[in-house]
């Protein structure tokens, strides 16, 4: 096998290794799909890639695997799940002991919103197969957390989220940047829309209406519709059954306090219908954490870049602190998470200095922001994109 063909395999292996903790198991299913090796005369997407960078990244990954950075500490995840269940139990206990006054309902709403957000980060861990060695155990626990604790679908989440990881901020490939003409993102899409005179909404005001239809509506409206539609269209009855246990549990728990109608409303709108505060909590929490690492970064059409470069131009980190780690589910280390999705999150801070050193060696930008700056940059990015659209719409 010649040197160029080995390099092509390396480019493919970076993505393959990122998603599969047990590649030998997966290869059993790939054998029937093998067509053959690409002939040297055929067009290649690998021209222009930094061969030394690719080799150095694989050397780093091999080192991390040997040193045990891909092994999870089960006690960490047990305690993490425990604090989620504790918040749910405390909220219910407060209702049982002191009743449903407005002040107590507000407090319990905050506690339940917190448990919902943290359950979202935990199911994310299981979905990436980063906790247990056996994939089946990860799958079962993910269905429990996202289904029973959150009322959503594991298969829906994984299908959407893995596309995002494979091609972050790549138009038509990353579903997270498919804004359904509601927003124009990055530097190129706004200009393309402007030149074509596309004006579905006043995009030069998108940094303002983002606060009205972005964080408040993503989970309670768009995600709920998409989840239900996906489960029924794909006949995913297992995930639907798991989700129904969430609603059944909340109906049974809160019927004594709110009556039939109140309990149904509570479960139908995911915990935060205990009070309007939850609408501005769980969904806002999820949107700001997931967007501050990606939305202000570079967005483009497919450029066929190597794994490290593709992830770094689309991703930034947030400064480490105990609060930031907890608040974001360790996604403040978004760079390390995107490079090594199957790595347990409690090891990101140990790996970060090694990744930064590799980036410095090859001149790849490694961005770290404060939490405040990262949130502000989301709004600045939307305003910049809106201004680019307006200029192109009026003058090009």
| pLDDT of residue 3 exceeding 80 | no
Rounded mean pLDDT of the chain? Answer: 88
Which range, of 17-21, 270-274, 318-322, averages the lowest pLDDT?
A: 270-274
Q: How far apart are CA 107 and CA 109, in angstroms?
A: 5
| Confidence category of residue 352, pLDDT binned at 50, 70, 90 | very high
Most distant CA atoms of the chain, gap in Å:
76
Q: Give the per-residue pLDDT at 34.
A: 77
Structure tokens at 127: 């979905």
Q: Give the per-residue pLDDT at 1.
A: 44
pLDDT in tens, 66-78: 999 999 999 999 9
Q: State mean pLDDT over 144-161.
A: 95
| Confidence category of residue 5, pLDDT binned at 50, 70, 90 | very low
Q: State mean pLDDT over 357-370.
A: 97
Q: Give the per-residue pLDDT at 4.
A: 47
Give the chain's count of helices (H) and strands (E): 17, 2
pLDDT in tens, 99-152: 777 788 788 888 988 999 999 999 999 999 999 999 999 999 999 999 999 999
* C-alpha separations of 100 from 93, 276, 291, 339, 346 in Å: 11, 15, 35, 46, 38
| pLDDT of residue 291 exceeding 90 | yes
Which range, of 29-33, 58-62, 219-223, 330-334, averages the lowest pLDDT?
A: 29-33
Q: How far apart are CA 392 and CA 196, in angstroms?
A: 9
Q: Is 385 exposed, middle or buried (0-12, 13-18, 19+ CB in 10 A)?
A: buried
Which range, of 122-126, 253-257, 353-357, averages the lowest pLDDT?
A: 253-257
Q: How far apart are CA 61 and CA 352, in angstroms?
A: 12
pLDDT in tens, 202-214: 999 999 999 999 8
């Amino acid at each position: 096998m010649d040197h160029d063909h080995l390099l092509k395999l390396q480019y493919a292996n970076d993505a393959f290794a990122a998603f599969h903790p047990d590649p030998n198991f997966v290869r059993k299913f790939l054998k029937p799909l093998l067509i053959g090796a690409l002939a040297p005369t055929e067009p290649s997407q690998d021209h222009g890639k930094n061969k030394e960078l690719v080799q150095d990244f694989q050397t780093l990954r091999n080192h991390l695997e040997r040193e045990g950075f891909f092994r999870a500490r089960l006690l960490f995840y047990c305690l993490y799940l425990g604090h989620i269940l504790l918040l749910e139990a405390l909220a219910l206990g407060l209702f049982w002991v002191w009743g449903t006054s407005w002040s107590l309902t507000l407090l319990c709403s905050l506690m339940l919103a917190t448990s919902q957000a943290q359950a979202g980060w935990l199911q994310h861990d299981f979905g990436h197969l980063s906790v247990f060695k056996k994939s089946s155990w990860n799958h079962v626990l993910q269905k429990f957390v996202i289904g029973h604790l959150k009322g959503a679908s594991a298969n829906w989440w994984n299908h959407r989220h893995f596309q995002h990881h494979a091609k972050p901020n790549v138009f038509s490939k990353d579903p997270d940047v498919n804004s359904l003409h509601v927003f124009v993102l990055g530097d190129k899409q706004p200009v393309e829309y402007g030149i074509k005179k596309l004006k579905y909404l006043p995009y030069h005001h998108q940094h303002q209406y983002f606060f009205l239809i972005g964080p408040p509506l993503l989970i309670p409206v768009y995600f709920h519709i998409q989840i239900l539609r996906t489960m029924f269209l794909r006949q995913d009855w297992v995930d639907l059954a798991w989700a129904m246990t969430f609603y059944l549990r909340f109906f049974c728990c809160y019927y004594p306090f709110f009556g039939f109608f109140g309990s149904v409303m509570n479960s139908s709108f995911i915990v935060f219908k205990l009070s309007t505060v939850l609408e501005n909590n769980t969904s806002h929490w999820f949107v700001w954490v997931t967007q501050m690492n990606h939305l202000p970064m570079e967005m483009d059409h497919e450029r066929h870049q190597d794994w490290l470069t593709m992830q770094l131009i689309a991703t930034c980190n947030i400064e480490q602190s105990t609060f930031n780690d907890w608040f974001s589910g360790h996604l403040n280390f978004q760079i390390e998470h995107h490079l090594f999705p199957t790595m347990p999150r409690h090891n990101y801070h140990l790996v970060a200095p090694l990744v930064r050193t590799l980036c410095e060696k090859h001149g790849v930008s490694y961005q770290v922001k404060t939490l405040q700056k990262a949130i502000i940059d989301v709004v600045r990015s939307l305003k910049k994109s809106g201004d680019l659209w307006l200029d192109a719409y009026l003058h090009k």
